[in-house]
Amino acid sequence: MYKELTFYYGAMGCGKTRKLLGTRYSKIEDGFSVAIMKPQIDKKGGDYILSRENDKVKVDFLIKDKDNIYLEISKYLTKKNLDFILVDEAQFLKKKHIDELASVVDILGISVICYGLRTDFKGELFEGSKRLFEISDNICEIERQCSCGRKKMFNMRLVNGKPVFLGEQVAIDGVDASYEAKCRYCYNREFKENDD
Ligand SMILES: [Zn+2]
């Protein structure tokens, strides 16, 4: 079986975490050992991954900016075996983390499946997503439809229920702000309406 680095991307609320949890269940059912990883910056749920349906699973690896994922996994493998690593909110990882995940695939022989956003609330690539687009073996979009019928692509940030287009790149959903996924057309319309 090929060992591959795979990136599933989509807008907010497109069901990435649901897909991650579903993959976890089926891989375990098929007899594989699976670990869950997420960046620590995603404060939502703490040590757990939460889907919108309130499924929750404990995270095995919480990654800080300075962590070396390759070394962490090498250490883990001295005690346990691992077939798959599923990474939630992969957009928040650093470029070097994605390169380390590629080494986990190529040198340690573990398949890595990342799930994350394509772009931030301004429509610009996140560091982790950018690197995943550059080096993944497989890139798959999880599509959802905007209420107008077009494809959801943008993650509009809402603070106190109002769209905002300025601010820091990271504001955690449900903690610091909320988000509404929109197609490019609807996002640009909101942007113009709020441009004063
Ligand atoms: Zn739309």
Instruction: Give the tokens for residue 65.
Output: 């900016």
140 part of a folded domain:
yes
175 part of a folded domain:
no
Burial (CB < 10 A; 0-12, 13-18, 19+), residue 184, is middle
119/126 Cα distance (integer angstroms): 6
In the prediction, which pLDDT does 118 show? Answer: 96
125 part of a folded domain:
yes
169/119 Cα distance (integer angstroms): 10
Query: What does the pLDDT profile of the chain (196 residues) look like in tens digits?
Result: 789 999 999 999 899 999 999 999 999 999 999 999 999 998 888 899 887 677 789 999 999 999 999 999 999 999 999 999 999 999 999 999 999 999 999 999 999 999 999 999 999 999 999 999 999 999 999 999 999 999 999 999 999 989 999 999 999 888 888 999 999 999 999 999 887 5
Which DSSP category does 28 fall into?
H
116 CA to middle of ligand 1, Å?
Answer: 21
- The answer to whether the beta carbons of residues 6 and 85 sit under 8 Å apart is no
In sequence order, what E strands does 51-123 have?
56-58, 61-63, 84-87, 111-116
What is the residue range of 87's domain?
5-144
Residue 123 Ramachandran class (φ > 0 left, ψ -120 to 50 alpha, else beta):
left
151 CA to middle of ligand 1, Å?
Answer: 7
In the prediction, which pLDDT does 36 show? Answer: 97
- The answer to whether the beta carbons of residues 117 and 152 sit under 8 Å apart is no
14 CA to middle of ligand 1, Å?
Answer: 14
181 CA to middle of ligand 1, Å?
Answer: 9
32 part of a folded domain:
yes
Residue 57: alpha-carbon gap to chain centroid: 15
Q: Has 89 been annotated as catalytic?
A: yes
- The answer to whether the beta carbons of residues 88 and 42 sit under 8 Å apart is yes
CATH number assigned to the domain comprising residue 128: 3.40.50.300
188 part of a folded domain:
no
In the prediction, which pLDDT does 196 show? Answer: 58
Number of domains the chain is built from: 1
80 part of a folded domain:
yes
102 part of a folded domain:
yes
* Catalytically annotated residue among 4, 89, 100, 193: 89
In the prediction, which pLDDT does 166 show? Answer: 93
120 part of a folded domain:
yes
